[in-house]
Structure formats: C-alpha cells, structure tokens
Amino acid sequence: MIYSFGASNYFSFKDGFDVSFEFNSKVPKNISKGRKLSTVMGIKGANASGKTSILRSLEYLTAFCTRSFKRAEKDLNLVAPFFENTAPCEFYIDFEANGVRYIYETSITTSAVEKEVLYKKISRKTKIFERKKNEITYRISELEELDLIILRNNASVIDTLNFYKLDLKTPDISNVQSFFNAVRGNVSALTVLDDKDFSSYEDVNKYYHQVPSALEFAKNIIIKCDLGISDIQLYEHTNKQGEIEHFPIFFHSGGSEGTRALSYFAESHGTTALYRRLKTYWATLYWGGTLVMDEFDTNLHPDLLPIIIDLFLNPETNPKSAQFIFTSHNLEVIDHLGKYRTILVGKEDGESFCYRLDEIPGDIIRNDRSISSLYRDGKIGGVPKL
C-alpha cells in the first residue's frame, strides 16, 4: 500500500507535489474503518491544472522499476521536466510491500539517472542501496551482486537486478518489484489509454472465460446498476484462423416480448465500457495492488461512481486493501469521498500545486456540510477560471 508519493520539476509541478493516503487521529472511525491508510483517493481540478501529471508520476516510477532495462539504451521514456529545463525530475514513493515499509527515491534528467536510493523503514529508516550516476555508493552486504553489474544510464537498479534474475540474499528487491508489478490502470507516459487499448474487447472476453468469478462479479454490478440487463453469458465460436474466440450476450428482461438478447456491439457505450473496466477492478480487488485511472467517470452515469468507489472502501469487497487513485470531472463525487480522500489541483502562472482538502485551515469544510457546493462557489479552489 502507498503511504505517500510525490514529484518535483515534473511537467507543470515545478516546486513539486505530495499525495498522502495516511489517516491521522482526527479522521472519524466511520471513514477510516480501522485502516491507517485510505484505499481511495480522488483528484479534482480544472482542465490542464495538472491532475493527470500526478497519475503519470506513478506510471513513470512503475515503468522505471519494472521495464526500464529493456528499453533502448538512450531512452528515458520521455521524462518531462518543468518547461524542459535541465534540472532533474525528482520522484519518491513511500509504500508497504509484503509487510515491509520502503521509501524509494530517484532523480532523473532527460539524459541519465542522477541518483537512486532505496530505504527500509522498520523501527528506523535504513538505507538498502544508493546509486549516484552509474556508481553504487552504498549497499547492504546482502546485495554484493551489485558489485558485478554495470549500470546503465537509463535503467533502474531494481529492474537491472530483476533482469539478471540473481539469487539475492534479501527479499527487498523482489518486494519492491512485486509492489510495482501490481500497479495497473489507463495512464501511460504521455496520454490516457482508451479502454480498448488497456482492456481490449478480446482480452476481456478471454479473461472472463478463464476466470468465471470475474465475470460473475461484472455481471452482478451491471445488473445492480439497473441497466435493464438480467444476465450476461459467454459463448464461443471458431474464427477464420481456426481459433476459438469468446463473445458475450446480454439478456434483457421485461416487456411483452419476454427476455431479449443483445450482442456486445448493440449495447450502449456506457454498458460496454463498464463491462470492459470491471475486469480490471476485479483483478485489483482480488489480487491487491494499486489501480490508477484518469477520468474514470468517462461513459459512466454519475450514480455508478459511488458503487465503484465503495468496492474499494468496503473491507468486505476489498480484503487485500487495494488502493484506487483517480481523476474525475464529476462534481458530486467530492461529497462521497469527503475531505480526507480528495486532492484538489490548482495552477498559477503556469505552475501547478495540490493539497488534500483536510489541509485547508479553519472549519470551512465540515463532515456535515456539502463540499461540492463549496467547490462550485470557488471557496476551496480547484475550479476553472471562466
């Protein structure tokens, strides 16, 4: 689970940002539900304020720690400093993996990794390794294999060690890898992926066929959302290449004609989008990890949003404490999230900044007052200047 993460000199965040999932002692128990960390964080703000850049920083760290070694030797996956200045982009993430808390930091320019360091935090913060440029300046004795590896300008130590599949004497590197491997969503380095790209129709059907419990999960939610659907069943056919493919049929009940069957392509965009996305929601809830979704409300009715959010808030539907961080243009979602689970992003003179709503001093935001009305009136920031 993520405690907090942040970046500076990254896209429009010149001075940086910090996003914290931690609950303090002031958070009501009906909100924390006994957890020390929030399992949901919503990000709101005007268009071009920098909301997506916050999510991109998580995707960048994930790609750097899990896929950087296989890149072309000079490719740093388009790290983006503030207005293309020459100073490095700074990233950090404080998280827990397999019961151990870690802090990972890295500093990267458009041409090379300047610094990379991993800490473990038990009773105190202790360093596991430190890298400056392509030299290991510190390592624990259990990572003696680092002495034999030549580091590359554009690859992380984490992914380099994973690539060589060394028999390490410490689980720390595999713990960090497992954490980042469990980050999924629709954000890439430069854009938001269409559902058809990160959860394609064919892949979703194949997954639902292989994992019937995931299909049952999706079916129950779609039926609950009162879309007139009473059942979803998968069928199969053989394509021209002789391969078996699966396809869904949506059954609608009611009316004088009784039950009617519609193909996926005859359903609305909202229904098909929900059908595709629920595969990713189920996988995150079942396996644990972090789901990162930009504009997660696209093609979804506003009344559906609390249903999806509550899947992550409810310990019964989220026993692995999976975390969901997202952006949304829907206004009422703020009231459902409350001040402890909402980040507002603003921009002044081309520079972005952000804050969690409970960081606003005074009592303008109370648990018994609508936050969306305050937001609409511009009293807490994060709204477009029209």
29-37: average pLDDT: 90
pLDDT at 72: 65
41-66: average pLDDT: 93
Q: Decide if 205 contacts 275 (C-beta within 8 A).
A: no
Helices and strands (H, E) in the chain, number of each type: 11, 16
Q: What residue spans define the domains of the chain?
A: 2-182+325-376, 187-287
pLDDT at 256: 67
pLDDT at 253: 84
pLDDT digits (tens, 9 = 90+) for 327-350: 998 888 888 998 999 999 999 989
pLDDT digits (tens, 9 = 90+) for 213-233: 999 999 999 998 877 899 999
Tokens 């069943």 sit on residue: 233
119-124: average pLDDT: 92
Q: Chain-wide mean pLDDT for the chain? A: 90
Is residue 134 very low, low, confident or very high in pLDDT (cuts 50, 70, 90)? very high
pLDDT at 42: 96
pLDDT at 269: 86
**Burial classification of residue 59, based on how many CB atoms lie within 10 Å of its CB (0-12 exposed, 13-18 middle, 19 or more buried):** buried
Q: Kindly state the tokens that stand for 204.
A: 């979703």
pLDDT digits (tens, 9 = 90+) for 295-324: 998 888 888 899 999 999 999 999 999 999
pLDDT at 368: 61
The residues near 378 (Cβ < 8 Å, ≥ 6 apart) are none
272-284: average pLDDT: 94
pLDDT digits (tens, 9 = 90+) for 147-174: 989 999 999 999 999 998 888 999 999 9
pLDDT at 386: 42
Q: Kindly state the tokens that stand for 359.
A: 């960081």
Q: Decide if 233 contacts 251 (C-beta within 8 A).
A: yes
> Taking 70 as the threshold, does the pLDDT of residue 76 lie above it?
no
64-92: average pLDDT: 83
> Taking 50 as the threshold, does the pLDDT of residue 60 lie above it?
yes
pLDDT digits (tens, 9 = 90+) for 352-386: 999 999 888 877 776 666 787 777 777 777 665 54
47-65: average pLDDT: 93
Q: Kindly state the tokens that stand for 107.
A: 């500093």
pLDDT at 189: 63
Burial 252-280 (b: 16+ CB within 10 A, else e): beeeeeeeeebebeebeeebbbbbbbbbb
pTM: 0.92
